[in-house]
Structure 1
């Protein structure tokens, strides 16, 4: 059963990537860090002291995935913030638990070539706005795999709801 849940989680993540890859961004992350009030929203954060700004996409399937990305192949960078369908405003701990995708707040992160699809193991997601028009909040998290640790700081997002 646990293998099936992992498979379903990965299938949803891959589906999210495929669907969102059809809407590419012409914005370079380093050139547009200050541009954060577009009608489409934003996902901003710092990784290794460098600021990034992605356009968000929201995908709903058992949970809500707010995702931003840029690049392809070895330059692919992405962040996915997973919220339960019945998420609430306020601060929530990030929990890595594939068996509870519908009740936990989780984050996945890729920054190829050095990091490929790592899940956060600690941190927080603070939902500051939940309305019929958008979801907004802040986040910070860290995780590690194979002895490599990553930390995301000063994260924020604003994504239109559909």
Structure 2
């Protein structure tokens, strides 16, 4: 009986040491989505994940929520870091612009004013912030991270 108690106690000690050496990830924060566009317009917060990047004469990043809302941010193909003003809906090379549509806000238009600040351009991602006005509605706290082409 003493042998069984000794073996059982040894097993408990070994198991305790083993379990203590295994730790969970101490970083409890949510992982950052790989690509996203998020902002506030009116009193609503929009958060699009897995945004699409497309390029032809301009580079665009696009987020959408089915038929409820969508946003496209337009850049020139030769994108660089810096702050750039949005320039309406005329498609000229080198223009920066936003197209935003929201059923709940009754918006479907192009940026009337605002700017984008591109903070990082790598071979993999484009990152930055933006603010603007579309159809008289202020877009604030805009952030994005999208694949670079």
Q: Select which of 56, 67, 70 maps to 2:65.
A: 70
| Partner deviation per Cα, 1:39-88 (whole Å, 9 max, x = no partner) | 2x11010112322210211010110011101022xxx2011100000121
Instruction: State whether residues 66 and 82 of structure 1, in contact with CA within 8 Å, keep that contact through their aligned partners in structure 2.
Output: yes
Gaps of 5+ in 2: 1-28
Tell me: CA distance 1:35–1:59, structure 2 relative to 1, closer, same or farther (3 Å). Answer: farther
With normalisation by structure 1, the TM-score equals 0.68
Question: Which residue of the partner structure matches residue 134 of structure 2?
Answer: 143
Alignment check: 8 A CA contact 1:83 1:106 kept: yes
- Of 115, 128, 137, 2:119 maps to 128
Question: What's the secondary structure of 2:80's corresponding residue?
Answer: coil
Query: Rg bigger for which structure?
Result: 2
Gap change, CA 1:37 and 1:44, over 3 Å in 2: same
TM-score normalised by L of structure 2: 0.74
Q: Runs of 5+ in structure 1 lacking a partner?
A: 1-33
1:83 and 1:36 mapped to 2: Cα distance? 27
